[in-house]
């Protein structure tokens, strides 16, 4: 890692289920933004984390999973890299998955805390998947898990079925809106298909 005196230590964590035909070369292309940002010449060169105790970026060829527990030093511009990474991984996945990204303020110290200053720590969730439906399924499952965990402090799990049902209704509406927007964007049939570019219609299958 060639970056020093940076604002953040950025930790990327998640497990992404991959298609069985995905190779390390596919991953190297999809994750190009990561290793270029790290100043490396390949994914293999930057696969190890900044911290030795973290497994880094690993391709589990037995279970066909991309395992990520990886830290890099960086700035806010790393967020742009994450957008490219998600786009690259979408085409390699066989199911939806969530990626956790934590920005730790590397410049925040005990003196700052003692003086009551706030750190610039930040946390975000990213989602990847072969289709919008697969991504929404992961988002839905995480939301249900969080809601049930919160509400079980006050209610039995058996009492929360109506809450889960309402969450499902919200995601159904969102998916229907997405489908409708994609249908509108399709060119009329019979025009030779010349305007049928892009990946969006394929996601509906």
Q: What is the pLDDT of residue 147?
A: 86
Q: Tell whether the model's pLDDT for residue 54 goes beyond 80.
A: yes
Domains of the chain: 8-130 (3.30.70), 136-204 (no CATH)
The shares of helix, strand and coil residues in the chain, as percent rounded to the nearest 5, are 45, 20, 35
d(CA 86, CA 129) in angstroms, rounded, equals 9
Q: What is the pLDDT of residue 6?
A: 73
Helix (H, G, I), strand (E, B) or coil at 13: strand
d(CA 57, CA 46) in angstroms, rounded, equals 8
Q: What is the pLDDT of residue 106?
A: 83
Cβ density class 64-101: b for 16+ within 10 Å, e for less: bbbbbbbbbbbeeebeebbebbbebbbebbbbbbbbeb
Please, which residues have CB within 8 angstroms of residue 204's CB and are 6 or more apart in sequence? 131, 179, 182
User: In sequence order, what are the beta bridge partners of 103?
Assistant: 10, 122
Q: What is the pLDDT of residue 145?
A: 85
Q: What is the pLDDT of residues 175-192, one digit of tens each?
A: 777 667 656 655 555 544
Q: What is the pLDDT of residue 192?
A: 45
How far is residue 8 from each of residues 72, 94, 105, 187, measured CA to CA in Å?
Answer: 8, 32, 5, 45
How far is residue 124 from each of residues 10, 101, 185, measured CA to CA in Å?
Answer: 11, 5, 30
More confident residue, 133 or 3: 133
pTM: 0.74
């Amino acid at each position: 890692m060639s970056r020093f005196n940076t604002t953040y230590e950025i930790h990327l964590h998640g497990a992404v289920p991959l298609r069985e035909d995905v190779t390390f070369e596919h991953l190297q292309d999809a994750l190009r933004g990561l290793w270029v940002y790290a100043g490396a010449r390949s994914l293999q060169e930057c696969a190890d984390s900044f911290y030795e105790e973290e497994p880094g970026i690993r391709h589990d060829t037995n279970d066909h999973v991309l395992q990520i527990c990886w830290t890099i030093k960086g700035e806010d511009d790393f967020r742009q890299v994450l957008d490219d990474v998600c786009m690259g991984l979408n085409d390699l996945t066989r199911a939806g998955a969530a990626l956790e990204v934590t920005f730790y303020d590397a410049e925040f110290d005990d003196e700052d805390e003692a003086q009551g200053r706030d750190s610039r720590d930040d946390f975000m969730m990213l989602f990847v998947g072969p289709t919008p439906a697969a991504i929404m399924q992961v988002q839905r499952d995480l939301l249900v898990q969080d809601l049930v965990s919160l509400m079980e402090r006050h209610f039995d799990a058996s009492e929360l079925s109506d809450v889960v049902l309402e969450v499902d209704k919200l995601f159904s509406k969102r998916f229907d809106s997405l489908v409708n927007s994609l249908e509108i964007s399709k060119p009329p049939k019979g025009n030779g298909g010349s305007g049928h570019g892009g990946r969006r219609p394929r996601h509906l299958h």
